[in-house]
Structure 1
Amino acid sequence: MVCRFLERAAIVEAEAEAEEEGSGSSGSGKKKWAACTLTDVEEVKQVLRMLPTWATTIPFWTVYAQMTTFSVSQAQAMDRRLGSSFEIPAGSLTFFFVGSILLTVPVYDRLVVPLARRVTANPQGLSPLQRISVGLLLSVLAMVAAALTERARRTASLAGTTPSVFLLVPQFFLVGAGEAFTYVGQLDFFLRECPRGMKTMSTGLFLSTLSLGFFFSTAIVSTVHAVTTSGAGGRRPWLTDDLDQGSLHKFYWLLAAISAVNLLAFVAVARGYVYKEKRLAEAGIHLVAHDDDVLVHA
């Protein structure tokens, strides 16, 4: 039912045929815009079907952006001593982020996939969209953990104590695990669903969600800073250079809320999405010699 109007592009209208016959034009001079092949129309429709999924994966990378920005600022305000003489650099906490990814991948392959196969009867364990949904859920939990950690850090700091930087490990771990699911799920989805003639677009679609996620993060930070510093009545800005004077935890709660709403939107989109292979089979169209460029009716 999606984009049915595009099917008109594959129909040679009677008026166009009459004009060509009257002008005595040869087949080589036929106007290319008069009709497209079935493959051309299906490729455009397929890309349009993918756009809602593409759009709802952007907020994950907005959460991801916080791991290299505000989470590092949190680390700078915490106790980073390891032993009596060594202090952990704030920026090196991404080690836990990368470690989470390296740990999640084998756990998924060895534990999650066999269990998921029994439940879903899918040889891959989880479908690409299911993988992405798990990653989006983990991003929500990461922002909840970040908000709770920052609230505890600020309370302790105002009371004269400095909590350990290792309190930040859960949010790094959750975002890292979320990336392992989302990253692989996105690549699998775009490579699997993009038409063969547009395979190079699959990587571009994935990378665009990452870049737009960082752009969206900048836009939210700018908006929140402008809104929370423009009012009167002694309202404290959420985002300040000195975290103790701000309310970073409220910003994290905002991101958690945005991510939760986005997760619901993604689930709604995913439930209504039909994978290309199944959709073409139901329409009586089969891929010839595993080549997406050739479609034939059964």
Structure 2
Amino acid sequence: MVIKLIPIWSTCIMFWTVYSQMTTFTVEQATFMNRKLGSINVPAGSFSTFLFITILLFTSLNEKIFVPIGRKLTHNPQGLTSLQRIGIGLLFSIAAMVAAAVIEKERRERGAGDNGVMISAFWLVPQYFLVGAGEAFAYVGQLEFFIREAPEKMKSMSTGLFLSTISMGFFVSSLLVSIVDKVTKKVWLRSNLNDGMLNNFYWLLAVLGALNFVVFLIFSRRHQYKVRNQQVTGDDSEMKETKKATESFSTLEVE
């Protein structure tokens, strides 16, 4: 039943909550940093290119490097199970928020005062890289999990379940911003980042991500993969469906 997938579904949301920061606060950070590359002033929004480059890089390396290594370590023909991929993606998202918090603290300290110096916006690349690497694992893992584990008569819902984690992730991000604004009386998050404490918000996301990962581990240990009575061709068709959907998503992001 679909209800058996809800525990894992709920823990997938946090990754996309972190991901949403790359298109909001991280872009805002870039506007308060030195964006010059030689004589060119790089637009703040263009730094998200590093996110998409990382996604494409890790997606292409997945079949060539990560799957063969996974096969040797786990003795699993797939290399990594869908839940293992999701777990790796969640770990990357936690690391990204830790890196983001450290970089934001450094940005504020160096830019404080009249004699402050703006640090290079390219210091944002690590958090883009970590989230992008995490997405390469989390996206494939989540899509594969819902396609394979959904009831046979409800396969059409599998992609919908996955996409709902993305929309819920962005919703949770907006909800967290509202809650933080209310609790901190808008001290942490301000339109002028130099007057706020965005690094504390990133630390909050890192802590929530870590707690979410613990819950994910508990649910993962309790989850029993659906027994597959299908022939190999059936499995192959599902793998092709997952791969096709993944490639379509990557193409949409680049565009």
**TM-score category (smaller protein):** 0.7 to 0.9
Report Cα offsets for 1:165-204 as digits up to 9, x if no partner.
0000000010011111111001101111111210110011
Partner secondary structure for residue 155 of structure 2: helix
Cα distance, 1:287 vs structure 2 = 5.3
| AA partner of residue 203 (structure 1) | T
Between stretches 102-111 and 116-125, larger displacement belongs to 102-111
What is the match of residue 56 of structure 1? 11
The structure whose RCO (Cα within 8 Å, separation 6+) is larger is 2
Partner secondary structure for residue 117 of structure 2: coil
What is the match of residue 105 of structure 1? 59
What is the match of residue 28 of structure 1? none
Q: Does 1:247 align with 2:193?
A: no
| AA partner of residue 113 (structure 1) | V
Unpaired segments of 5 or more residues in structure 2?
235-255
Cα distance, 1:289 vs structure 2 = 10
Unpaired segments of 5 or more residues in structure 1?
1-43, 230-235, 279-285, 292-298
1:180-195 aligned at under 5 Å gives the runs: 180-195=136-151
Q: What is the TM-score normalised by the length of structure 2?
A: 0.88
Q: What is the TM-score normalised by the length of structure 1?
A: 0.75
| C-alpha spacing 1:210/1:80, structure 2 compared with 1 (3 Å) | same
What is the match of residue 219 of structure 1? 175
More helix by percentage: 2
Partner secondary structure for residue 68 of structure 1: coil
1:203-282 aligned at under 5 Å gives the runs: 203-229=159-185, 237-277=187-227
* Equivalent of residue 68 in structure 1, options 11, 20, 23: 23
What is the distance in 2 between the residues matched to 1:141 and 1:290? Answer: 38
Partner secondary structure for residue 276 of structure 1: coil
State the Cα RMSD in Å: 1.7
What is the distance in 2 between the residues matched to 1:101 and 1:188? Answer: 17
What is the distance in 2 between the residues matched to 1:287 and 1:73? Answer: 50
What is the distance in 2 between the residues matched to 1:154 and 1:190? Answer: 42
Q: Does 1:161 align with 2:117?
A: yes
| C-alpha spacing 1:179/1:288, structure 2 compared with 1 (3 Å) | closer
* Equivalent of residue 142 in structure 1, options 62, 73, 96: 96
Percentage of pairs with the same residue: 52
What is the match of residue 173 of structure 1? 129
Q: Does 1:196 align with 2:152?
A: yes
Cα distance, 1:108 vs structure 2 = 2.3
| C-alpha spacing 1:129/1:289, structure 2 compared with 1 (3 Å) | closer
Cα distance, 1:110 vs structure 2 = 1.7
Partner secondary structure for residue 57 of structure 1: helix
Larger Rg: 1
What is the match of residue 126 of structure 1? 80
Between stretches 158-167 and 142-151, larger displacement belongs to 158-167
| AA partner of residue 79 (structure 1) | N
1:16-55 aligned at under 5 Å gives the runs: 44=1, 47-55=2-10
What is the match of residue 33 of structure 1? none
| C-alpha spacing 1:195/1:72, structure 2 compared with 1 (3 Å) | same
- 4+ runs deviating over 3 angstroms: 286-291
